[in-house]
């Protein structure tokens, strides 16, 4: 199994961070023929206030990063461990990770941290 680990300089622009992550995954698969690509913790959004982090938190399965990484895994037929991202769950926000598989009809796995903000 070939594994690529991606390092990013995520900032407070969620759309750009997701686009950058997609580009890094595509490059790793094209150049390294990766079977698994691992993104960093909080790759979707870094910086800002607690309020801005909560405002940029994902909901599953309709969040931008969740949909983007799931679709990319299916398209490229690769496994993606999407580091972690803020997940909005009611009044709380969790540091949550997803693992998307490139195999058809498999739902992404989701793991939520115990603590919340």
What is the reported pLDDT for 68?
95
Domain boundaries, the chain: 3-116
**pLDDT per residue over 6-41, tens digit each?**
999 999 999 999 999 999 999 999 999 999 999 999
pTM confidence score: 0.89
Would residue 114 be called left, alpha or beta, if left means φ above 0 and alpha means ψ between -120 and 50 degrees? alpha
C-alpha to C-alpha distance for 8 and 17, rounded to whole angstroms: 8
CATH 3.60.110.10 assigned to 3-116: yes
Residue with the bigger pLDDT between 4 and 91: it is 4
């Amino acid at each position: 199994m070939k594994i690529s680990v991606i390092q990013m300089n995520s900032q407070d622009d969620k759309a750009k961070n997701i686009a950058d992550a997609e580009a890094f995954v595509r490059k790793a698969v094209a150049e390294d023929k990766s079977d698994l690509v691992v993104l960093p913790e909080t790759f979707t959004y870094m910086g800002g206030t607690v309020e801005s982090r909560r405002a940029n938190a994902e909901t599953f399965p309709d969040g931008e990063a969740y949909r983007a990484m799931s679709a990319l895994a299916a398209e490229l037929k690769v496994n993606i461990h999407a580091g972690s991202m803020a997940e909005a769950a009611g009044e709380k926000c969790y540091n949550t990770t997803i693992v998307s598989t490139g195999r058809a009809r498999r739902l992404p796995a989701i793991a939520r941290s115990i603590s919340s903000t």
